[in-house]
Amino acid sequence: MYMMKGMTRGEFDVYELRDDEFGLYDLRITTVHLDTSLPLICNHPEGSFFELSGENLSLPDGGTIPIYPLAAVLPILPAKQRMNPSNDWIETDAHVRCPDPCCGGAFHIERTGVTVFRNSEVSGAIGGPNDNRRNAP
């Protein structure tokens, strides 16, 4: 298990990253009724949510989420966790539609905090047991 530092966005703004550290945004993904001309027909009621902190996805106690809408939003989440240029579309777009074309639901992605990692603890590529540079010519 590796060490992570969780902090608010304000705390991260003044935090000085060490050489080996990087930050990822923590996310809260909440169901919204984006297209009210369509009913919410999938099993993700408005206001239901899950959170992503680092690589760990969590649901509130007893919460569930159907796999098909989850499959639609999952590919976007790593990009939303990254710190990108302010004009990148991933910085301005915050909704992912439910994949069912008859459902008016969508997922609102909100950045709630930051988790700081040490690269040497989460990657074997640099200095770890799987460092391929040892075998490089």
Q: Where are the domains of the chain?
A: 5-135
How far apart are alpha carbons 19 and 21 in whole angstroms? Answer: 6
**pLDDT interval class at 85 (50, 70, 90):** confident
What average pLDDT does range 63-91 have in this prediction?
90
- pTM value is 0.81
At residue 135, what is the residue type?
N
Per-residue pLDDT at 59: 92
Q: Secondary structure of the chain: what % helix, strand, coil (to 5)?
A: 25, 30, 45
Closest among 125, 127, 69, 131 to 97, alpha carbons compared:
69
Predicted confidence band of residue 128 (pLDDT cuts 50, 70, 90):
low
User: Average of pLDDT values for 64-74?
Assistant: 89
Mean predicted lDDT score pLDDT of the chain:
85
